[in-house]
Amino acid sequence: MTDREQVSPTRVQILDEEGMNRTVARMAAEIVERDGGEIILVGIHTRGVPLAERLATAIAAMSGQRVAVGRLDITLYRDDVGPWRPAHSQPVIKDTSLPDSIDGEVIYLVDDVLFTGRTVRAALDTLMDYGRPRGVRLAVLVDRGHRELPVAADVVGKSIPTGLDEDVQVRLREVDGEDGVWIGKGSSDAH
Amino acid sequence: MPTDSVQSLAAKDLVGIAPLSAGEIQLILDTAEGLLEIARRPIKKVPTLRGRTVVNLFMEPSTRTRFSFEVAEKRLSADTLNFSAGTSSVTKGETLIDTARNLMAMAPDFIVMRHPNSGAPHRLAKMVPAAIINAGDGINEHPTQALLDAFTMRRHFQRLEGLKVVVAGDISHSRVARSNAFLLTKMGAQVRFVAPASLMPLGVEELGVQTFNRLEPALEGADVVMMLRIQRERQGNMNFPSVREYYDFFGLTPRRLALAAPHAVVMHPGPINRGVEIDSAVADGPRSVILEQVTNGVAIRMAILYLLAGGHGEPTSHS
């Protein structure tokens, strides 16, 4: 895009591996305190999926109880799929896996970064096509602000005030081979 | 086969398999994989194509392809308009160009088209901005059928490369056979065409397939046996003495099927003629995947609509 992109962007690490483990453990404790163990953790593709698994492991270590985990692909519910996208490439469709029924359950949607709120809107619509949960909550590792829709998280790992020209990069071992959160300028690695 | 993976289809239309790259075929099959699950949900509908219009323009009789497209369109929330020969003004002498102009005045985003003339969708694609999807043109191509066939094979064998695929029947009148030959050879499968000499077109080897005038030798070690319908409506003079004799020489019976690999699957694009090209015991038997093909066809058609709905450029941010 600009000349800036050609120089390597400045990156500042916000969380390292240990910090991420502590953050996930604290999020798990908040979830248990709030709703006990009778919940379903549903990770939003891509990085919400391993995060939901990690939260389930942390909850099991805490309460001895293994909670159900699912995963959700929101691609077909996005508001930018179609010719108004500046993209000829449609996003890749990934798998959705939920328990047979989510009617009457309490669901925690899990994602890595909360930004505009559009992913969460799409995730809510997706979920409602699978049933009628009793409650839906939102747990995110990072809330970076700049909401475009009236969406708020119930459980936040870390709030990071950012500029619109900045990027928050969450990297997870399961997807990226390393753990950490960085904030940088000028990177085009969009979600 | 190592194929360069691609993120999008290059053309605005799907007129045939011939213009597609191996990477594009793989993209369509991978996309369909993610769409299969929608058929198992309590609400079998996603909002992806909300507000888009699809015209289904069928100038030739069709039941399953038309229904399959319509289910695919509705599951993606598109609005559908159906034009069928016999009920539309085509029977009143309107030309293809005039029909197209009238349709475009209604601003459809997609036109799904079946036409008795080979090349009709290619012509229409050049004339209108809508995305044209070929649902069968004359004896040329039937790309969505070949894609759903390949999808069904890949789901059974986890690959296409190296598969031995027999396609038997009325090759000379079969757009399904042609599209399958294009697709399977691009993906590295080995294709064997079987037909009586009178139903085997000249020069068909140029498609990269082996040809046989008897079924038995072709069946040896086959992974997939695809039987084609004898299209009596496309044959002025019958090219074989009788249906009974065709069955005796070319019908797929349990005894003949035993010559194929033990894991072989039996396919048929439908509608089947029991006791002509296929024995009921085979069509309804454990190796038959004919009804899976129908289910898979909806996912393939959804995948094509989804991929052709894309605009131009890079994906936008969405967090």
Helix (H, G, I), strand (E, B) or coil at B14: strand
- Per-residue pLDDT 10s for chain B (319 aa) are 456 788 889 999 999 999 999 999 999 999 999 999 999 888 999 999 999 999 999 998 888 999 999 999 999 999 999 988 766 556 567 788 888 888 888 899 999 999 999 999 999 999 899 999 999 999 999 999 999 999 999 999 999 999 999 999 999 989 999 999 999 999 999 999 999 999 999 889 999 999 999 999 999 999 999 999 987 666 556 678 888 889 999 999 999 999 999 999 999 999 999 999 999 999 999 999 999 999 999 999 999 999 999 843 333 444 4
Who among A78, A89, A93 is closest to B8 (CB)? Answer: A89
Amino acid code (one letter) for B314: E
Question: Within the 54-93 window of chain B, which residues sit less than 8 Å (CB to CB) from chain A?
Answer: 76
Q: Residue B153 contacts by C-beta under 8 Å, 6 or more apart in sequence?
A: B160, B163, B165, B189, B223, B224, B265, B267
Does the beta-carbon distance from B37 to A95 stay under 8 Å?
yes
First-to-last alpha carbon distance for chain B, in angstroms, is: 35
Does the beta-carbon distance from A76 to B47 stay under 8 Å?
yes
Who among A81, A113, A130 is closest to B42 (CB)? Answer: A130
Q: Which of A91, A133, A21 is nearest to B318 (CA)?
A: A91
| C-beta separation of B38 from B301 below 8 A | no
Q: What pLDDT sits at residue B239? A: 76
The pair of three-digit structure tokens given for residue A91, joined into one six-digit string? 């996003």
| C-beta separation of B223 from B241 below 8 A | no
Q: What pLDDT sits at residue B61? A: 85
The pair of three-digit structure tokens given for residue A18, joined into one six-digit string? 């240990």
* Sign of the CA dihedral running B218, B220, B221, B227: positive
Write out pLDDT tens, residues A50-84: 999 999 999 999 988 899 999 999 999 998 876 55
Does the beta-carbon distance from B34 to A86 stay under 8 Å?
no
| C-beta separation of B19 from B121 below 8 A | no
pTM of the shown model: 0.89
Q: What pLDDT sits at residue B101? A: 83
Taking CA–CA distances from A113, the nearest residue in chain B reads: B319
DSSP A18-38: HHHHHHHHHHHHHHHHHHTT-
Task: Decide if A1 touches B, using CB distance below 8 A.
Answer: no
Across A27-37, average pLDDT: 95
Chain B interface, mutation test: which of A5, A46, A79, A85, most B Cβ atoms within 10 Å?
A85
Question: Within the 76-105 window of chain A, which residues sit less than 8 Å (CB to CB) from chain B?
Answer: 76-78, 80-96
State chain B's maximal CA–CA distance in angstroms. 66
| C-beta separation of A43 from A108 below 8 A | no
Say which DSSP state B6 is in.
-
* Distance of alpha carbon A86 from alpha carbon B310, whole angstroms: 9
* Sign of the CA dihedral running B74, B80, B82, B83: negative
Task: Evaluate if residue A134 carries a pLDDT over 60.
Answer: yes
Task: Decide if A191 touches B, using CB distance below 8 A.
Answer: yes
Task: Decide if A64 touches B, using CB distance below 8 A.
Answer: no
Cα-based torsion angle of the residue sequence A75, A77, A79, A82 in order, rounded to the nearest 10 degrees: 70
